[in-house]
Structure 1
Amino acid sequence: MASSSDSNSVDMDPDVARRLFEEGATLVLLGVPQGTELGIDCKSWQVGPRFRGVKMIPPGLHFLHYCSINSPRCGNEIGPKTGLFLSLKPREIIVANWDPKEEDLDFSASKNEEEVNRIRATLRELDPYLGPYPYEVMRKWVSLTDRLSEEVANSLQPLSGRICAYSDVIPETEYRHTQDRAEQPRNDTACQSMKEGLDRLPKMKVREGTELRFSHIAKKTYPNGATPAEITQCSMDLSYALETVLEKNHGQQPLNLLGELQFAFVCFLIGDVYEGFEHWKRLLALLCRSEESMRERKDLYLGLIAVLYHQLGEIPPDFFVDIVSQNNFLTTTLQDFFQFASGPGIDAALRKRAEKFKAHLTKKFNWDFDADMDDCAPVVVELPEGVTVD
């Protein structure tokens, strides 16, 4: 989308292109500054001077994302990424105008039927300024979101409708009066300790309506009134905690948890939202360490293997060195999963699928899931009192 001529040089079957033009949705994005990084689903571009939007978008769920270039808010550097999920219907036209003050897209024009009809009537004239949907990444996008429905995406997306790479935080307490501010710790003297420095900072909270609405995963993994033996069991087998999350958040549709896993992954991989990665890890640990649920929920776990197969296929191998392999998170979590999947009472189809997935990961990443992970842990040596190491 660096220019309209570049945008239209897509190698696509003419019949497919014609059908997508006639049946596909159109995003008309007006006033987006040149140089803005903008993308849909798994691909992004720098906007050129003639850009007016994206055409030939397959109906369904999509992730639109963008960030300003030369943003005054960020010292004339690239701004933080903003994204939103859109569920598009055949031949639908969505209109948005760039708001330079907010450095964001304003979709209010889409609610103006007269404006949308005007755009529809001139769509042929607008066509040279519309970049085609990146058809070559459609298969990848579908594989990453095939379990994510519009309903689930809407329930997890912030009420503000925007998924931001950085949280929008505000002070927990607003000091509107001079006397209130005067009573706060002063910052004109040197701090005597790290704790004092942290105490001087204002307590912040995420602005209401901007937080992702992920399922809450409680730290307590056992029911009230549990005996010591039950607490131990629920700490080793997280099925109680998993079933609690399913009941509270996904009711009669437990497979929607896989949609939430995909939502969190897309937020991190494409939206640059680290909170998405943290939630993905928590969900994955919960699923992989729930032995009893694995026996009872064959379809959920067959789906989990398929979801992970595509997700791990999209992450560069060196990524694991930097983030995922810290504390051996992924390898230890999957080691528990494969151990439970080979245990008694597991459905034969699930057992076989898990064995194939294990072999695939071992070949792709050279991970050894049969090794004793404790052997790789650092050894802590306690020195006698008074002895130090320089």
Structure 2
Amino acid sequence: MAAKQTKKDDKEEASMDPKTARKLFDEGAMLVFLDVPAGTEFGIDYNSWTVGTRFRGVKMIPPGLHFIYYSAISQGSTNVGMRTGFFHYFKQREILVKKWDVRLEDISDYQPTEDEIKQYKCNREKLDSFMGPYPYHSLKQWVSLSTFVSETLMNSLIPDNGKIQSVTELIGDKESRTTEQRAEIRASLPEDATVEQQMPQMHVNPETKIKFTEIPTKHPTNANPEQLTKYNMDSTYSLQTLIESQYEANKLDLLGEMQFAFICFLLGQVYDAFEHWKSLVHLLCSAQEAISTHSDLYNSFITVLYFQLGEIPKDFFIDIVSSNNFLTTCLTEFFQNLEDSSAHEELKSRGRKFKKSLTRKFKWDFDDLECGEYAPQVVMF
């Protein structure tokens, strides 16, 4: 969960060398966020605030990927609405303008004209006192979580509506089916269909779904029993298929998707993103042969996982991650696969250091594994 910030960032800006602060203001990007009600929870990357009446956005944003999110507060109460956010790849000196819609309790469809953008650029100095400074003290922390998420990858994963929503949006058939599709659904109902059966079926609004890559099956369709046993114990076939079909141009984008999913869960509070992150972690940990053939991928995988697990809040994430021994099972398998592989000694050494750091931090025993849901399966024949 993002760290709460109050006056720390203003003090940080004040303590900066004036030349440094001026350069960051001139070169950094700016998010102008208009009409946000006081009391709204607002965050960017690994920091969040409860905004006041003077809030108009964030200044001095470093170029690159950032995640902006917010939760409305019901008037006259402390009830917090669902978390909604969006990713944006800021350019140097860019000014991004968003406007709040009180009726929707969300960002409106407002799109500023080029002339309006020019006016904001000319009035940067006047806006300064209404803008919160980007929290540079946590920039390295954020970069460690988003290293491999390129702008191209970001655009391929974000939902069609551009928003990351913590609550799944369901819609009825009438809102998303064609006339022909609705007729087919009606025709499939029995003559004595109950009222409940005739009610519109609800499903996830396709415009709100994050476009995560589907993980291929574990084995070829024509695999014999011996091969089925091998592929169920070693997910290399599935991983190789995924790389060739989706990430042949840059297999490190696979780690970018893993980071994207982690951010969507940790900061966006999207549980489906956590499930996808788990699937990718399990896929990489159980691909025994791939460790030898894709050493560069696994070298970066250790780094990504090291920083991700370093961000697990003790009071928020640990119980979910540890349920059913998911991570201890996956990582025990990974560490064993790494030792048994023909990967270079440098990679094996990094794996041993990673294992020791996890043992120190979480007290996980990787030598006393109880196999569960993620244990390898043997096909009997």
What band does the TM-score fall into relative to the shorter chain?
0.7 to 0.9
Cα pair distance change 1:152/1:232, threshold 3 Å = same
CA distance in 1, matches of 2:346, 2:75: 53
CA distance in 1, matches of 2:324, 2:7: 48
Mind listing any 5+ residue stretches in structure 1 that lack a counterpart? 188-198, 378-390
In the other structure, the counterpart of 2:379 is none
- Tell me, yes or no, if the aligned pair for 2:36 and 2:99 is still in contact at 8 Å: yes
In the other structure, the counterpart of 1:196 is none
- Tell me, yes or no, if the aligned pair for 1:3 and 1:48 is still in contact at 8 Å: no
Q: Which amino acid aligns with 1:99?
A: D
Q: CA RMSD in A?
A: 2.8
User: Secondary structure at the residue paired with 1:266?
Assistant: helix
In the other structure, the counterpart of 1:265 is 262
Q: Which amino acid aligns with 1:59?
A: P
Cα pair distance change 1:106/1:251, threshold 3 Å = farther
CA distance in 2, matches of 1:143, 1:131: 23
CA distance in 2, matches of 1:5, 1:320: 27
- Tell me, yes or no, if the aligned pair for 2:86 and 2:163 is still in contact at 8 Å: yes
User: Secondary structure at the residue paired with 2:42?
Assistant: strand
1:44 and 2:48 equivalent?
yes
Q: Which amino acid aligns with 2:26?
A: E
2:74 to 48, 70, 73: 70
Mind listing any 5+ residue stretches in structure 2 that lack a counterpart? 375-381
Matches within 5 A, 1:1-390: 8-11=10-13, 12-14=15-17, 15-70=19-74, 77-106=79-108, 108-110=110-112, 112-172=113-173, 185-186=194-195, 203-218=201-216, 220-319=217-316, 322-374=319-371
Q: Normalised by the size of structure 1, how large is the TM-score? A: 0.85
Q: Which amino acid aligns with 1:168?
A: E
Q: Which amino acid aligns with 1:54?
A: V
CA distance in 2, matches of 1:93, 1:30: 13
1:239 deviation in Å?
0.4
Identical-residue share of aligned pairs (%): 44
CA distance in 2, matches of 1:320, 1:211: 23
User: Secondary structure at the residue paired with 2:231?
Assistant: helix
1:295 deviation in Å?
0.7
CA distance in 2, matches of 1:94, 1:236: 49
- Tell me, yes or no, if the aligned pair for 2:328 and 2:369 is still in contact at 8 Å: no
Cα pair distance change 1:368/1:105, threshold 3 Å = same
CA distance in 1, matches of 2:78, 2:356: 48
Cα pair distance change 1:58/1:3, threshold 3 Å = closer
Return the index of the structure with the highest Cα Rg: 1
- Tell me, yes or no, if the aligned pair for 2:288 and 2:341 is still in contact at 8 Å: no
CA distance in 2, matches of 1:361, 1:147: 23
Q: Normalised by the size of structure 2, how large is the TM-score? A: 0.87
1:202 deviation in Å?
5.2
- Tell me, yes or no, if the aligned pair for 1:66 and 1:81 is still in contact at 8 Å: yes
CA distance in 2, matches of 1:266, 1:277: 9
Mean Cα deviation higher: 231-240 or 321-330:
321-330
